[in-house]
Chains A and B, each alone.
Chain A
């Protein structure tokens, strides 16, 4: 069998929260050996939990909990267990195919171990705040002396230079800064009453960071040269609103949010269906599709009215149009609406909640979910690959790593340390897994 595309590429990663772990997941899926350097002295917020040992009342049992939508704070089977950091679902979602070792990079002897690892790696990847690597004295200038061919990627929210370099931001703030919040709103509500806890910047910046590493790897393979990649998450998500930016720079127009509507298509939106909180999304892009929609609905009398006779009229009279369409969708299951309309060639599909997505026929038929057995979490199906490759098939090869699970591999096989050397470092807790956990922190 062919090797995976990135087999033989070693990436040392200090990724936190979501964008960085998502990027390194894509690279690990392609076959790179991604080694997370973690800590038994420091607990990075959110990455492996909100707190090291959450009291049971903060382990949510429903979707609606502290701080917003509950799916973000879930532990496997609502039980944090003895090692909560190995049972936190967010970590499981993005941890596959990666390895974990623990090194205390805040102390000089730990830094020496870390540098030995960087020396035998191709890429160093970090997604911390802009001052983190500076405080640790592990900037590009320092690490390139250790490994001149190193590719070093940093992805702070606002970049590695400029007056706002040290700005503290999470996805919500990036979303606001980049103009995404501006355009995501119910037209009849304002920004304080439109709640959105989905932050596109994590998905966008994570994917482009993986692309950036691939660009640098290709250049390095051809020239032997490493380099520094300065990825401002803000700058990576602005192109996703290119039309709105161009409308402003070409026409001086500040686009306003349209909710679920579209500048030229009508009907275009989300409609209530039979059942509790069930919805279908649909859009009609041409006169031909409009005729097909009318046909699918049984050519009701209202569809012949003058106010719906042209695309412009439909656009103008959307409120009434949407009411008529919803009267029809309300009587059907959302999947049923999809099948009825798709048969006619109209873009329509259910708004899938997480249960529906897990049971969806398309994802199932393509084998999207893969079975994974994990030491602390048991056996489950996990969401799998984002694309399929014909000759180098990618898959979940390894479960998400437990904290420090690959210490032996990294210290013995990768770094060639002796048992004595390891014991010495473990004694001072400079390396070591959660058997050496720092009780005052964890």
Chain B
């Protein structure tokens, strides 16, 4: 087996939905041995969320679940039962890291809080991921992607002036907070592995957003240090122009491109447009002129309308102007750069066959990112873990199943 950065790190995974599973997916994809514990019967609620393979709702065919749970082993366990708790504690004793994403009262309600688990395994790193944290007046509040972005993130200034604040597409706040949780997890694990300090880490999704760049942390500090409230801004055509050159999203022949301008780039634009005569055009001698910007727009829009987004990308690449096409998911799958770097990977799964998944978020020269196995079927590794690791017999396993424990 190839050595990976996190080889031999044992993770017990009690997370569900997106943020927690993305955290443990990062650990698993870089080599950690992750055991995902699901409730018997239904498993992770993400199994019931789409998109489904061939649009057929099936707990083994959720694209969301398959994406988020690669490289994990799956067991089922009923943590409400005494036997389930006993088995869980046996797993804790044999783990380096426990990640959970229940509401804050759940683990203590089960009698499985850090104070209890620390006695079983003093070097345990226990990471709790919750919407608002383990303490405070909102501790037990409910949240969702849109609520977390509204309260923690920079939703207030996302979107157009005069319109309502706009959510970022998809569930990106969940993914980003899961990534921050993975940083917290590895930081704590580093202290556990090399200083023998186990501890409890409390990750509040609201705080991960309030403390993150782009742009919440900067804008909050702008308010504190200068009283600035940053709000939603008009789109390019309605905004006050400060440069001749364009900035923002513009239409082209077959879609849209996003362009950014720096004052020193006027000559690059002239080159990109193939219009050297603009250099001496009396209208464009002051690059900070808003009127000149309006004049330039006429040239700019008609030039864009003659070119496809791919053509424009090549032109801007050569001229070193920051401009890029507004890609759809379909465009990504045929992107030349991603293809050249072997980004997307094919994963074979018993219920779906081979499907293309997003690949490594970063490449390491010595230790690889790799898909060793697809997401687990519900309870797929019960026998391997309970019999192989904990020493239960097959007869005992049958009894546990009949008793609804697994």
Contact = CB atoms under 8 A, between A and B. Distances in A.
Nearest to A377: B225
Contacts of B151: 281, 349-352, 357, 360
A191 B200 CA distance: 44
Contacts of B321: 168
A80 B16 CA distance: 47
A417 interface: no
A242 B68 contact: yes
Interface string A59-100: 010111011111110111110000000000110111000000
A244 B357 CA distance: 11
Given A5-B191, A192-B249, A390-B200, A162 B340 contact: yes
B158 A198 contact: yes
Interface in B1-36: 3, 5-6, 9, 22, 26, 30
Interface string B302-337: 000000000000001100111111111111110111
Contacts of A384: 211
B201 A390 contact: yes
B222 A365 contact: no
B170 A236 contact: no
A203 B211 CA distance: 10
A22 to B, nearest CB: 4
B35 to A, nearest CB: 20
A159 B337 contact: yes
16 contacts: A69-B230, A89-B226, A94-B218, A161-B340, A177-B325, A195-B159, A195-B233, A211-B186, A240-B176, A245-B357, A270-B150, A281-B149, A281-B151, A345-B142, A355-B223, A381-B224
Contacts of A169: 322, 324
A120 B317 CA distance: 38
Nearest to B251: A192
A176 B327 contact: yes
Given A21-B213, A197-B233, A354-B222, A268 B146 contact: yes
B193 interface: yes
Contacts of A318: none
A71 B260 CA distance: 18
Contacts of A391: 191, 197-199
A193 interface: yes
A218 B193 CA distance: 9
A56 interface: no
Contacts of B206: 362-363
Contact of B213 (A167, A193, A203, A282): A203
Interface stretch (A107-115, A247-255, A299-307, A408-416): A247-255
3 residue pairs, one from A and one from B, having the closest CB atoms: A183-B169, A246-B63, A71-B230
Contact of A387 (B166, B208, B230, B262): B208
A323 to B, nearest CB: 13
B223 A195 contact: no
B6 A93 contact: no
Contact of B155 (A193, A351, A366): A351
Contact of A5 (B163, B188, B324, B364): B188
B191 A2 contact: yes
Interface stretch (A36-44, A257-265, A308-316, A426-434): A257-265
B364 A270 contact: no
A297 interface: no
Nearest to A177: B324
Interface in B327-370: 327-333, 335-338, 340-341, 343, 352, 355-367
Nearest to B317: A167
Given A159-B341, A176-B326, A181-B258, A76 B358 contact: no
A242 B358 contact: yes
Nearest to B182: A211
Contacts of B179: 204, 207-208, 211
Interface stretch (B129-137, B277-285, B383-391, B397-405): B129-137
A30 B168 CA distance: 29
A279 B369 CA distance: 42
B136 A366 contact: yes
| Tier of interface size on chain A | 35 or more
Given A177-B325, A352-B156, A347 B144 contact: yes
B166 A385 contact: no
Interface string A322-350: 00000000000000001000100111111
Nearest to A382: B221
B204 A392 contact: no
B249 A93 contact: no
A26 interface: yes
Question: Range of interface residues on chain B?
Answer: 35 or more
Given A171-B214, A354-B220, A195 B161 contact: yes
Contact of B235 (A195, A221, A281, A381): A195
B188 A180 contact: no
B224 A192 contact: no
B218 A279 contact: no
A164 B317 contact: yes
Nearest to A378: B225
Contacts of A347: 141-144, 147
Interface in A186-242: 186, 189-204, 206-212, 214-219, 221, 223, 225-232, 234-236, 238-242
A21 to B, nearest CB: 7
B164 A283 contact: no
Given A186-B160, A348-B147, A353-B229, A386 B366 contact: no
Contact of A248 (B176, B234, B329): B329
A207 B212 contact: yes
Contacts of A192: 235-237, 248-251, 256
Interface in B172-203: 172, 175-176, 179-184, 186-191, 193-195, 197-203
Contacts of B53: 250-251
B232 interface: yes
A365 B137 CA distance: 8
Contacts of A179: 327-329, 331-332
A350 B231 CA distance: 15
B170 A342 contact: no
Contacts of B364: 212, 215-216, 227-229
A163 interface: yes
Contact of A71 (B169, B218, B323): B218
Contacts of A164: 317, 336-337
B31 to A, nearest CB: 8
A68 B236 CA distance: 9
A114 to B, nearest CB: 22
